[in-house]
Amino acid sequence: MDLRNDLERDLVNIADNLSDVLFVSKRRLAAVHACEAHHLAEQRTPFEWSIPLARGSVSHKAIELSMHLAGQRDPGDLVDEAVAILIDRQTRVGDFLSTCGEASRAELRSESSAMVSSFLDTFPTLRKGWRPATEVSKRVELCQEKITLSGKFDLTIGMPNDTTAGRVIVDVKTGGFAPEHREDLRFYALIETLVTGVPPLLVATHYIESGRMLEEAITEDVLNSAVRRTTDGIIRLSQLENEDVEPVRKPGAACRWCPISDDCTPGTAWLNDSDGW
């Protein structure tokens, strides 16, 4: 199995026609596979932070702190530390947090504290010997650096050696289950394999609100499926950027927050049929 060769063989023609480096994240892949018209509309809409979006970032940072700070910490204190760090680092979410107003910050503190509390109640206590690491960034450059696959793993546990899979990659979700979460982690498994030469032993999505953990063992079939999905997604991303193809509309859950839903016939029909859900 030569995953890099499989990817580059199918992407070389696309890469030759790229005017700039194409960055591919799990979010972009999920977006282009969900609804291409929505993906393009979102790209043209300026991004704005909101309390629900900031809640995810703050909760993730607070959970990260809970794994590395000694002793048991109150979830509210962890959230306060997380907010202070994000503001201090002058991140974009930090700018939002410092200007969103006291009432919004209080709402965010309350919701994030509840998230962190649920996580601490439901996630197994991590031991040092498991070598846990949080916010692990990895990237893979393909086709003479024309295409970059990038990922930031919420949590990894364990270590591979030269020949044996030994790492578990965990994605922590603040919302509910969605089928694409499994594909997100398959993409991460592909990145991990390309970087280290050894596949992860297991990938898992942990849902904070329900305390559920959905796991998948990483097999050759899973990695081949990730290669196909990644290749298909990159080809479509590049064709859409070059305006070589008409964007496909695929109604679904994303219609609920789609910026062009008022002008989209299939999306409006789906929303009417789904009765708001």
Provide the 10 A C-beta neighbour count for residue 260: 16
| Count of chain residues binding ligand SF4 (CB under 6 A) | 14
104-112: long-range contacts at Cβ-Cβ below 8 A with a sequence spacing of 24 or more? 104/51, 107/51, 108/51, 108/54, 108/55, 108/58, 108/83, 109/76, 109/79, 109/80, 109/83, 111/51, 111/55, 112/55, 112/58, 112/59, 112/62, 112/79, 112/82
Does position 258 bind ligand SF4 by CB under 6 A?
yes
The only residue of 151, 200, 233, 251 in contact with ligand SF4, by rule CB under 6 A: 251
Nearer to ligand SF4, 19 or 277 (CB): 277
Residues in the chain, total: 277
Residue 60 phi/psi, 5-degree rounding, is -60, -45
* CB of residue 35 to ligand SF4, shortest distance in Å: 3
Taking alpha carbons only, the member of 246, 240, 247, 248 closest to residue 14 is: 240
DSSP single-letter state for residue 99:
H
Does position 266 bind ligand SF4 by CB under 6 A?
yes
Which of the ranges 20-28, 131-139, 152-160, 255-263 carries the binding residues for ligand SF4, by CB under 6 A? Answer: 255-263
The only residue of 140, 157, 165, 255 in contact with ligand SF4, by rule CB under 6 A: 255
* CB of residue 179 to ligand SF4, shortest distance in Å: 16
Does position 236 bind ligand SF4 by CB under 6 A?
no
* CB of residue 264 to ligand SF4, shortest distance in Å: 3
| Burial call 59-86: b when 16+ CB within 10 Å, e when fewer | bbbbbbbbeeeeeebebbebbbbbbebb
Nearer to ligand SF4, 30 or 169 (CB): 30
Taking alpha carbons only, the member of 233, 227, 265 closest to residue 31 is: 233
Structure tokens at 242: 């070059």
Does position 264 bind ligand SF4 by CB under 6 A?
yes
Nearer to ligand SF4, 13 or 274 (CB): 274
* CB of residue 242 to ligand SF4, shortest distance in Å: 20
The site string for ligand SF4 over 13-52 (x = CB under 6 A, - otherwise) reads ----------------------x-xx--------------
Tell me the residue ranges of DSSP E strands in the chain: 22-24, 133-142, 147-157, 168-173, 202-207, 212-217
Does position 76 bind ligand SF4 by CB under 6 A?
no
Which of the ranges 93-101, 159-167, 176-184, 264-272 carries the binding residues for ligand SF4, by CB under 6 A? Answer: 264-272
Nearer to ligand SF4, 186 or 249 (CB): 249
In the complex, the residues that contact ligand SF4 under the rule CB under 6 A are 35, 37-38, 249-251, 254-255, 258, 260-261, 264, 266-267
